[in-house]
Every structure is written in structure tokens, then in C-alpha cells.
Amino acid sequence: MIRVSGPRTLELVRAVWVGDVAPSEGLPRAVLSGEFDDGRGRQPLLLLWMPGPRSFTREDVAEFHLPGSPPLVRCALERLLAEGARLAGPGEFTRRAFESGRIDLTRAEGVLALVEARGAEERRAALALVTGGLAGRVGDLRAALEDLRVTCEANLDFEETETGHVPRCELESTARAVAEGLAEALAWEERRTPPTGEARVVLAGAPNAGKSALFNALVEGGAALVSELAPTTRDVAEGPWILGDVRVALVDCAGVGNDDARAGSVEALAHEGARGARAAADLLLWVVDATRSDAAALAREAARLPADVPRVLAWSKTDLAAAVQRPPAELLAVGRPAAWAAVCALAGGGLEELTTACAESLGFASAGLPRELSARHREGLRAAASALGEGLDGWRSGAPLDLFAAHLREACDALDAIDGRTTPEDVLERLFARFCIGK
């Protein structure tokens, strides 16, 4: 299928159409059966004609449904390009719908979220945006804030005894109702966001590689035992680690050893628990002492890690005099980490880089779209609520009414950023660049 949208759509359709009933100006929505003249021959064509403004983009839109043979589709596309059409950019159809006012930004985000949905919960959350669940709430709240602001500014021109004056109690009641509406919209958005179980990041590596020290550095209040004696860690320790705005479970367990401990011993049970934790991990944080030079032993260690679990290499103890500041190429080739970072757990060096590498490897930088969109919406709703609350509190404390009106304008601006009225161009560019070509 090839979709065309724009002011020259009818002209392009006429240039390639072969059939009894030719599309013409004023033709309503129609499904027409004919042929497509691709310049080399004719192809069977089912044409869907959707004239503006009653189309997704509010422009004339035509969909050419053709045989599925790639060479034939390529010929048809080349003919349209020769007639003056151009290839659409990522998300351009949805962006045109947004810019024409057909949909607001939250609905456009819903289209993207629906395309990228990875399960039933994410599809449900995306559909709630596409169908205007947030847009309707934001629109009503903005209208109420604007009415309240206009009333406040009009009140500046009237004395309390004059007819046009609105009583203080009425203004307060309206402001409270808007505040309750903002709280309800925020609660709806939090309910809409699909639940996500915490990802599990498991520390792996040889005994005394620095796993427990790294655990203590990354987990607030981490209290894993740290010692130069090996093996120190036998029990599995777990704590929350914040990657950006996402919380994951960081797990510390026994090191990767020779697994030759006596069956039933404490050490054997510790290794068994560690193997299970590593196998069930969403990401392995492979900790390697930067002073080690035993390439063969490191290769054997890498081979003991679960092959189907992605890993990030923490090149540890880089503060030591004998440390090499970057892992050798041979180790990276054998260990196949998705990324690596040089760290010093005790001094805190490299922890930010390690956090970024793990977030990207888990997909939070690119695949966390539902969280990303919801965070933007919640930020706007909270900013609006905060501006309204500050203005109302100040007015109750004796601040002039025009200052309250200024806070109301700030609250309106926060809501405008949600639905795209005042969203910066660079934010729009980043959003629509994530769409595929056909959307």
C-alpha cells in the first residue's frame, strides 16, 4: 500500500489512474477499483480516496492498494515520485495531523506508543492516549484555568460593591475545583501507565573482584560485607538501584568460582544460588579487577556466565597503581559485553557512566517509551498544580490578585506543553523522528 497526502494528491491520482470512474473534485470518500499506470504497464488497483478536511491529516489523502510484489510496488512508487511526489519522513503523516489540529500531541504520542507496544498492557495504555483520555482532561482543565484567570483579571477593574465583581469565595471554590481536577488527571495518568516489574541486574565476577563494594556504592544504604578474604559473599543480597527515573533490583551474590565445593556445603549452596540468580537476571554486571592479567582465566570466567543474558563490564578498582585503565581488546572479544565502564567503587569514579551503560543495555533509553511519555505528562500536570497552589496560597496570604492571575497563566502554560501548544520544536523533532516511515 502506498499512501499520499497533500494538496496535489488529486493531481497525482489522476496522473496514474486508469478506470471508468475517474476521481474528481468534490468526490466524497470512496473506494474505487481500477488500474495503476506505472509507466511500464498497468497494475490492478484498489484506490481509497479520503478528501480533506475529513481525513487523518485534514488534507486530501489517497491510498493505493496494489499487488504485493516488491518490483511492482517499486515501479508504482517511482512513477509517483516522477510525477512530483516525495518520500515521507518518519512520522510525517502523524505530524501533519498534529500540525493541522486534527490531533493534539498526546494523541500523536499515543500513535507512537501503540506502534511500539510490546504487550497487552502497553497497547491498552497507548489506546487510552489515542482515544483522547488525557487530551479531554487537559482541555477541560485548561479551559477552567483560563476562565479563572480571565475572571481574576476582570475583577481588578471592579470594586467589591460593583455589579461586575466576583466574590472571593466563588474564586476560591473554582480554584479548588480545578486543583481537584488536576489531581484526578494525574491519578488517571498514573493508572494508565502500564505496570512494569523491576528489572534484575545481577553482579557477577570472580571473588574479590569488587562486586560487594560496587553494590554498596550503587545501592543507598547498601551493607554488603567487603573483605580482602575470599569468598566473602555467600548470601544473596538485593537492593534498589535507580537508573535515571527507573528503579531496578541490584543483586549481589557469590562470585564465579570453580564450582568444585563439597556438595551440600555452605559454599556449594552459595554457588548454586548465585548461578540461579545469574540465569534469571535481565542484565549481568560483570565485575572484573583491572589489575588482572590472566587472560585464560578471564576467558573461562566469561564462559561460565549465562550466554543468553546481556552483560555490561564493570572494569573495577581502577584507582590501584597496578590497574590497567581500559580492558584489553581480547577480553572484550571473549566476554562480549554490550558496554563497559571503568569504575572505582570506593571513590565513586565512573559510576555515572556505568549507570548510563546499564540503562541503555536494559533498553530504558529507547524502549521505555510508555514511562518516558507518562513522565512528561505527569511533569506537566504537577507543574500546573504547583503553579495553581502557589498562586492560591499567596492570594490567601494577602498577595495581589494580579499575581494570582500570573500563576494561573503559568499553570495554563504547563498544560499547553502537554498537548503541544507550546512544545519546543526540538522536542517535536525528537518525538516524530522515532516514528516509522508509514505513520
Cis peptide before 53 (omega within 30 of 0): yes
Q: Which amino acid is at 70?
A: P
Measured distance CA(436)–CA(439) in Å, rounded: 6
What phi-psi label fits residue 34: left (phi over 0), alpha (psi between -120 and 50 degrees) or beta? beta
CA distance 275 to 413: 53
Topology, domain 2-87: Gyrase A; domain 2 (3.30.1360)
Fold agreement (2-87, 108-192+369-433): no
Instruction: Per residue of the chain (439 residues), give pLDDT as tens.
Output: 999 999 999 999 999 999 988 788 888 999 999 999 999 999 999 999 999 999 999 999 999 999 989 999 999 999 999 999 998 888 889 889 988 988 888 888 888 888 777 556 677 788 888 888 888 999 999 999 999 988 888 777 666 555 446 678 888 899 999 999 999 999 888 877 765 556 789 999 998 898 989 999 998 765 544 444 444 445 678 888 988 767 888 999 888 765 555 555 556 667 777 888 888 788 999 999 999 988 899 999 999 898 888 999 999 999 999 999 999 999 999 999 999 999 998 888 999 999 999 988 887 644 456 667 778 898 999 999 999 999 999 998 989 888 999 999 999 999 998 988 877 777 677 677 767 666 7
CATH number listed for the domain at residues 108-192+369-433: 1.20.120.430
Question: 3.90.226.10, 3.40.50.300, 1.20.58.1030, 3.90.650.10: which CATH number matches 200-362?
Answer: 3.40.50.300
SS3 221: coil
Q: Which pairs count as long-range contacts for 12-17, CB under 8 Å and 24+ apart, including other chains? A: 12/62, 12/80, 12/83, 12/84, 12/85, 13/47, 13/49, 13/62, 15/83, 16/64, 16/76, 16/79, 16/80, 16/83, 17/45, 17/47
386-434 pLDDT, tens digit each: 999 999 999 989 898 889 999 999 999 999 989 888 777 776 776 777 6
Q: Which three cell numbers stand for residue 89?
A: 519522513
Backbone φ, ψ for residue 42 (5° rounding): -120, 140
- What residue spans define the domains of the chain? 2-87, 108-192+369-433, 200-362
